[in-house]
Homo-oligomer: A and B are copies of this chain.
Amino acid sequence: MEAGEGVSSATPTEEMNGAGNLMDFLDEPFPDVSTYEDFHTIDWLREKSRDTDRHRKITSKSKESIWELIKSLLDAWSGWVVMLLIGLLSGTLAGVIDLAVDWMTDLKEGVCLSAFWYSHEQCCWTSNETTFDDRDKCPQWQKWAELMTGHTEGAGAYVLNYFLYILWALLFSFLAVSLVRVFAPYACGSGIPEIKTILSGFIIRGYLGKWTLLIKPVTLVLAVSSGLSLGKEGPLVHVACCCGNLFCSLFSKYSKNEAKRREVNCLSSALIFVLQVSYYFPLKTLWRSFFAALVAAFTLRSINPFGNSRLVLFYVEYHTPWYMAELVPFILLGVFGGLWGTLFIRANIAWCRRRKTTQLGKYPVLEVIAVTGITALLAYPNPYTRRSTSELISELFNDCGALESSQLCDYINNPNMSRPVDDIPDRPAGPGVYNALWQLALALIFKIVITIFTFGMKIPSGLFIPSMAVGAIAGRIVGIAVEQIAYHHHDWIIFKNWCRPGADCVTPGLYAMVGAAACLGGVTRMTVSLVVIMFELTGGLEYIVPLMAAAVTSKWVADAFGKEGIYESHIQLNGYPYLDVRDEFTHRTLATDVMRPRRNDPPLAVLTQDSTTVEDVETLIKDTDYNGFPVVVSRESERLIGFVQRRDLTLAIKNARQKQDGVVSSSVVYFTEDAPQLPASNPQPLKLRRILNLSPFTVTDHTPMETVVDIFRKLGLRQCLVTRSGRLLGIITKKDVLRHMAQMMNQDPESIMFN
């Protein structure tokens, strides 16, 4: 008995601190015992049950004193506090980024004399020339050539402006790529593939760190302002996740639990993605993310970057309903969206693979500079590509009002009709429209090609805006075409009921919106969220049927060529261990086909509950790199009693060797409830039951892999043991599952990056 009590696992110092600390000690035996290494996957069930324990402890303590009660209330509210902070910070960042992008985009062309920090619009907004035509031409705003030489017209001024435009673009993109390379390599790309992977339970240290949070917004502004074909929505999600991570570290509830951290982490502003990724998260989290979105919307509204006190980016109002017959062009736009999605994904992945495998990948700065140069060179001559992409989309979405000065609205006026303002009946297109059509067609080709090469470079780059731009251009072209056909052929049967002469019947702006939705859907394959986003961006709810028709068609078409969206393709290209909820596993393999050890492998590395020595364990740890070891009753019976983590085992032995007298290499390790009484001559046994997971997940060897994949997916397991009639046969890890799935899809199983 005395010997048994002597081997208490608590060290003397800790024993003196009394019962309260002893409890702490039992729950978290050693420092760092429950953290994970970089590029490892987390165990959801374990993290969850740790949080429940923590919660239970706080609740029971809260009855002891007022102070503990306050602490428990603070703990309960910390989720909301974190969300409030995230909302405030990410809303502020989004607003500041918008303002900065506006200013810097315009800086490429000219400067505001009255206040150099004004963008073109702000500069001329405050001027007295308030008629619509002249709003863009106010004396305070001067192009660079005008400022430097005094000339506004002529080839010389044009060339100078052109040259400075390219120079600014190169400067911005050089700064962006350099900052990313030097300070925060993780700040590049859209971040969405990585965030999806992190949310699914993978650890990438530093990906959501402070440096990323600092550098990404700055470089994002630079990258967008440089005129490259990229958007800021995806990177903004990444930035919001970084905010989440930052604020998580303020509260021990979140900083110490990888599952809880993920819960808050990225959901903040990524409501859209929540809808797809919310598998492991309880519904409470959704409410919180709503709350954060509310705060962010608030903050954004206070900053008011769009200058119209609306929360939506592209606000449109159309005055005509749509007609059934228009569904045909809408569906054609859907087909176009699907084809573009397929083309883009294939071409972009091929290019990114080439970048990874060839010399090209070694010169990221040069690549960015080159692409920026080409983009600026080709973009400037065409008015539709010179301006910022979001302005372009906004113009394409807009309906032609009577006061519209845009080239796109250059219709031939019929002098016989005097219509009220704001209502344009159908009219023949003027030369401006035909001119615009050509320019739009060129812009479409340019955007399609350049976006393929832009996405994936080492700068922050989103994909929403370029995809939508491609769709909006195509849509507007189709829209104008349909409109003109309808005007010139009123007598055709299909137009007869629909377009009476003199009445407004086709809204080309709606076609642009539909096209944008189709292309966005084709590229990202978002489901529910797609339509939601389109609502958010446009404020149109009347047009749900056209949008849905196009989105569904686009998804069908794109899915026919391959199930994966751009983010999944990039996840696969990078070999992230992401278990997609959408893949359906339908092969007939069984757990026994996937588990290790395979037929000719050495037997599974196991520990026995009462016959392994400390030395044996140390040898096993040294010789293998498994994340954990099953513990069995004995090597003969092979009956499973639990699973022990490699990390816990290493720490426990190290700790015991340092602090616990009598634990030597020949000490026996006991995982049983009571260590037997040993004669004093024997070395002290080491009792490790408290680090043993007594409820490891098991399946039988006959379980279909379909079920196993489901279990891994839904429960977020890290590993699963395989048994047959109570005997331990092998182990299946998440990596094994992913490799098996890759193999079944005829992909290289070794591409999975994973530990």
Does A39 sit within 8 A of B, measured CB to CB?
no
Most chain-B CB neighbours within 10 Å: which of A293, A528, A581, A707?
A528
Does A287 interact with chain B (Cβ within 8 Å)? yes
Determine whether the beta carbon of A52 is less than 8 Å from that of B695. no
Interface 0/1 of A704-723, CB less than 8 Å to B: 10110011001100000001
Find out whether the CB atom of B714 lies under 8 angstroms from the CB atom of A552.
Answer: no
Interface residues of A in 25-74 (CB under 8 A from B): 45, 48-49, 52, 55-56
Say if the beta carbon of A599 comes within 8 Å of chain B. no
A window 578-604: CB within 8 A of B: 581-582, 584, 586, 588, 591
Given contacts A527-B286, A552-B287, A586-B52, contact A297 B544 (CB under 8 A): yes
Inter-subunit contact A310/B542 (CB<8 Å) = yes
Segment at the interface with B among A169-177, A505-513, A633-641: A633-641
A727 at the interface (CB under 8 A from B): yes
Minimum distance in angstroms from A257 CB to a CB of chain B: 15
- Given A283-B582, A527-B283, A706-B311 contact (CB < 8 Å): no
Whether a CB of chain B sits under 8 angstroms from the CB of A482 is no
Is there an interface contact between A312 and B56, defined as CB atoms closer than 8 Å? no
Interface hits, A170-186 → B, CB 8 Å:
none
Is A703's CB within 8 Å of the partner chain B? yes
Interchain nearest-CB distance for A53 vs B (Å): 8
| Integer count of this chain's copies in the complex | 2
Digit string of A724-747 for contact with B (CB within 8 Å is 1, else 0)? Answer: 111100000000000000000000
With A542-B539, A699-B695, A727-B726 as contacts: A55 and B586 at CB distance below 8 Å: yes
Any B CB within 8 A of the CB of A282: yes
Q: Are B287 and A541 in contact (CB under 8 A)?
A: no
Which of A298, A581, A700, A711 has most B Cβ within 10 Å?
A700
Contact of A706 with B49 in the complex, beta carbons under 8 Å: yes
A301 touches B695 (CB 8 A): no
Q: Give the docked Cα–Cα distance between A724 and B633 (Å).
A: 11
User: A163: CB under 8 A from chain B?
Assistant: no
Residue of B whose beta carbon sits closest to that of A548: B294
Rounded to whole angstroms, the CA-CA distance of A411 and B640 in the bound complex is: 81
Q: Is the CB of A725 within 8 A of B49?
A: no
* Alpha-carbon distance A293/B282, docked complex (angstroms): 27
How far is B528's CA from A697's CA once the two chains are assembled, in angstroms?
Answer: 33
Q: Is A694 an interface residue (CB 8 A)?
A: yes
- Chain B residues with CB under 8 A of A612: none
CA distance A49 to B703 in the complex (A): 10
B311–A49 touching, CB < 8 Å: no
- CA–CA, A175 and B714, complex, Å: 48
Instruction: Determine which of B56, B586, B641 lies in contact with A588 in the assembled complex, contact meaning CB atoms within 8 Å.
Output: B56
Task: Give me the 3 closest cross-chain CB pairs, A-B, nearest first.
Answer: A726-B726, A694-B702, A695-B703
